[in-house]
Amino acid sequence: MVKIGLQVKANLENIESLKPQEESFKWYMKFACNNCGEVSSKWNYIMLEDEKPAQRGSGVTHYVTKCKLCARENSLTILPDTISEIKADTCDQFKTIVVFDCRGLEPKDFSAREGWIASVDGGTTFNNVDLSEGDWADYCDKTKQPVSISCIEHNFVRVK
């Protein structure tokens, strides 16, 4: 069991916070098998609401896959209590926004797509923000200012 955190940073213009939608958010990733090193060529998504019985024990897992090269079954569980947001005052620093319990695999790449929630100081919330293009822009009628998200970067770190 290895816990791996996904860290993200981005430029937030006139946005107070950016966070993933909890239950329905799709975490798009590519993985490497820890047994043989094979890296998936296709994007796979993991959702908190997709619960499957764990291979061992009485817990649940959110993603189960079989390696195409060595046929080993691997799994990943989202630790729901670790899901957090990026705040405007620290958006230029990597922030761990979720931790995964990885068994037999390791995330190698992340794609920030749709399903983000952007909150503007003053109460406006933009739901289902799509970051597939790498950036997003809109206009806040309450604050009468443009809002945007750009320069999204990520990395993975081992967590104790």
- Per-residue pLDDT, 158: 97
Structurally, the chain folds into a number of domains equal to 1
* Cβ atoms 106, 31 nearer than 8 A: yes
pLDDT averaged per 10 residues in sequence order, the chain, 160 residues: 95 97 93 96 95 81 95 95 96 97 96 97 92 96 95 96
- Per-residue pLDDT, 70: 97
On the 0-12 / 13-18 / 19+ scale of CB atoms within 10 A, 31 is buried
Q: What pTM was computed for the model?
A: 0.94
- What is the residue range of 14's domain? 2-158
